[in-house]
Structure 1
Amino acid sequence: MAAPLALLSMLVELAVGYPAWLVRRAGHPVTWMGHLISWLDTRLNDPARESAARRRAGRIALVLLLLVVGASAFLLEAALLLLPFGLLFVALAASMLIAQRSLYGHVAAVADALETSSLEDARTAVSQIVGRDTAQLDEAGVVRAAIESLAENFSDGVVSPVFWLGLAGLTGGAAYKAINTADSMIGHRSPRYEDFGRAAAKFDDVVNLPGSRLSGLLLVGAAALTQDASAKRAWNTMRRDAAKHASPNAGTPEAAIAGALDVALGGPRAYADSHTDGAWLGDGRRDATPSDLRAALRLYVRADGLLIALVAVVAALGATLSATV
């Protein structure tokens, strides 16, 4: 177990985030992974080949991606741990895989635009964190989209990377992020990626399963600590509606936060080249307001605090057990 690393990484990311100047100069690990995925896509994904061959190529691409990313992370962690205060340096590297600060900032920007600027600015802000077409969203649609993104990204941008960091160190966290990035780039259903991206999409579902369930429980716990939120309703809605979502994982935190806030999330949505009639999660109001988005952010902060406390307890228990052996 590498719970101390996961804990320290969360605290580092909360304190300093990932500085914009560093992004401009060196990029970001997700960007580097994206370049590798694009390279593999260009060389292995031949549209002229049959479906079975393209699926095999997709599996090969995923294996190569994990080998490169996993080996790089393993060697980096081993090298950094040789340095004085090596764990701190590993935590600095691992903090790049977690998105606590940036997630809050992106969603808060939507709330700020709704409260102090214009609906058009809010649509622009929410377009930075969702894949759907935001041009025609009304205020309630913008709020729902932002809350859904907050819930889903709490799972795959915070809880899941922390889970895999705690389980398998920097190697586990980096491998998880590579799978998640591959899913976002090639795991969608389109003529080019229906076959080639199948392995990435399926594997992403598997590695996100523990984090999605934990994120739902953390949001239920956060609701119990939050005025004007209902833990009971969050729990009941999560159990009843999570499976209605098209994703086997995103539905869990989205249904939990919908129940906690007594709003309805999901429903029909438009994308650049398609339209989907998604199921509604929760029995609450569909006319969500900016105050609901602020309430969702408060829930997120408390759920993240519970996650930090949970990892701290696991780290302490691990240290105690190690001392007694």
Structure 2
Amino acid sequence: MNLFWIPLAAFCLDLVFADPRNVPHPVQLIGRMLDKLEKIARKNFPNRIGGVLSLIVLLLMVFIIVSALTGLPYAGWIFALYFAWSGLALGSLLNEGTKAVSAVAFGSLEEGRKAVSMLVSRDVSESSQEELYKTLAETLSENFNDGIIAPFFWLVLSGPVGLWLYKATSTMDSMWGYKNKKWNDLGWAGAKFDDLLAYVPARFSAMFLQCTANLAGLGTGKGVWDNVTRDAAKMESPNAGWPMAMAAHLYGKPMGGRAVYFGKVKDKPVLGSGEEAWDEHSLVQLIKHIRLAAIFGCGLMWLVVSLLRVLL
């Protein structure tokens, strides 16, 4: 019964209230675990081995803690709902994305840069307004999968425990998964396992954006899948390009190109074939589109899995 009603309840709570407030967030606790594991790994093991062992220890700790708390008599369902709710990030993505778009559109250029810098890891200190809009389009579409579709996919399949095994891996990848000398080996295991866990949800996220294109005022979106597949394959990540490429083709506005990370310029693959630049109107439309696609996609996943449980 928990696997039936908790995903829906958590989704509604997240959509309306965003993240739980005034209580410790599990991602913060995972971040602290990773800081301690990094020190131990760097001191005692070669980087790649240390990364593999750190991932195993982290997942084991998360499994034990979440399983124990959600398995408590009487209070277990409260912890289950809390872990499910706190593991979804649609509400926060929409709220923070809306604030950033408003800052770029109506604030000074410095205010816009500051707002966008809170959402991305790249350096936007010299970005133009047009570049800030494109950066927002990229992070909103990529996090449509990372923040809602992938965690909800694992939630409906395996409950709060499965969700937080995914979130722990994703957090490790976001903290350790940089392609530089410091992190390339230590973050290898987390990055590879995150790629595996997000593989199916990433493709679902592109499909859900396409299925709701007409409701978002973009037409049917027919005929774009081959182009999306081609563009997604250009990316270093096997998953990030799927929702990004779908958004780029549906909106007729490109993503990718020049970006600065930690002082180094990186030429990212260009996704989409349109020539029009992202602007305030298209970003507002994308935010509404993501909300529609999330409601449709999560509802569909919940319905299909629930029916399969009844039939099997």
TM-score in terms of structure 2 length: 0.93
Aligned position for 1:35? 32
CA positional deviation for 1:60:
0.7
CA distance in 2, matches of 1:243, 1:202: 16
Partner of 1:101: 91
CA contact (8 A) 2:149 2:298 kept: no
SS in 2 for 1:277: strand
Per the alignment, in what secondary structure is the counterpart of residue 259 of structure 2?
strand
From 74, 83, 91, give the equivalent of 2:81.
91
Instruction: After TM superposition, give the deviation of residue 315 of structure 1 in Å.
Output: 5.2
Q: For 1:32 and 1:316, how far apart are their aligned partners in 2?
A: 31
Deviates further, 169-178 or 284-293: 284-293
Matched, 1:122 2:123: no
* Deviation at residue 17 of structure 1 after TM alignment: 2.2
Report the 3-state secondary structure (helix = DSSP H, G, I; strand = E; otherwise coil) of the residue aligned with 1:189: coil
> CA deviation digits over 1:196-247, x for unaligned, max 9?
1111111111111111111111111121322135512543431221111221
Aligned pair 1:275/2:265, yes or no? Answer: yes
Q: Deviations over 1:58-102 (max 9, x none)?
A: 1111100000011111111111xx327x54552232110100110
Give 2:69's aligned residue. Answer: 76
Deviation sequence 1:223-275 (CA, Å, 0-9, x none): 13221355125434312211112211100000001111110001111112211
Match of 2:47 in 1: 54
Q: Structure 1: which 5+ runs fail to align?
A: none
- Aligned position for 2:184: 194
CA–CA separation in structure 2 for the residues paired with 1:97 and 1:260: 28
Q: What does residue range 1-325 of structure 1 map to in structure 2 within 5 Å?
A: 2-20=3-21, 22=22, 26-46=23-43, 53-79=46-72, 82-83=73-74, 87=77, 89-229=79-219, 231-232=221-222, 234-314=224-304, 316-318=306-308, 320-321=310-311
**Deviation per residue, 1:103-139 (Å, 9 max, x gap):** 0011111221133222221111111111111111111
SS of the equivalent of 1:215 reads helix
Identity %: 31
Could you tell me how far apart the structure 1 residues matched to 2:79 and 2:186 are? Answer: 36
TM-score, normalising length from structure 1? Answer: 0.89
The question of whether the paired residues in 2 share the 8 Å contact of 1:230 and 1:261 is answered with no
Partners of 1:154 and 1:234 lie apart in 2 by: 19
Measured on the aligned residues, the alpha-carbon RMSD in Å equals 2.0
User: Aligned letter for 2:262?
Assistant: A
Q: Is the Cα contact below 8 Å between 1:122 and 1:142 reproduced in 2?
A: yes
The alignment partner of 1:269 has SS state of strand
SS of 2:213's equivalent?
A: helix
Task: From the superposition, tell whether residues 233 and 120 of structure 1 become closer, same or farther in structure 2 (CA, over 3 Å).
Answer: farther
* Structure 2: runs of 5 or more not aligned: none
| Equivalent residues, number | 311
Tell me: CA distance 1:190–1:122, structure 2 relative to 1, closer, same or farther (3 Å): same
Do the aligned partners of residues 149 and 234 (structure 1) sit closer, same or farther apart at CA in structure 2, a change above 3 Å counting?
A: farther
Q: CA deviation at 1:320?
A: 4.0
Structure 2 vs 1, CA of residues 229 and 3 (structure 1 numbering), >3 Å: closer, same or farther? Answer: farther
How far is 1:278 from its partner? 1.0
Residue 41 of structure 1: CA displacement?
Answer: 0.1
**Partner SS state of residue 46, structure 1:** helix
CA distance in 2, matches of 1:149, 1:15: 21
Report if aligned partners of 1:261, 1:295 keep a CA contact under 8 Å in 2: no
Q: Secondary structure at the match of 1:43?
A: helix
- Tell me, yes or no, if the aligned pair for 2:157 and 2:305 is still in contact at 8 Å: no
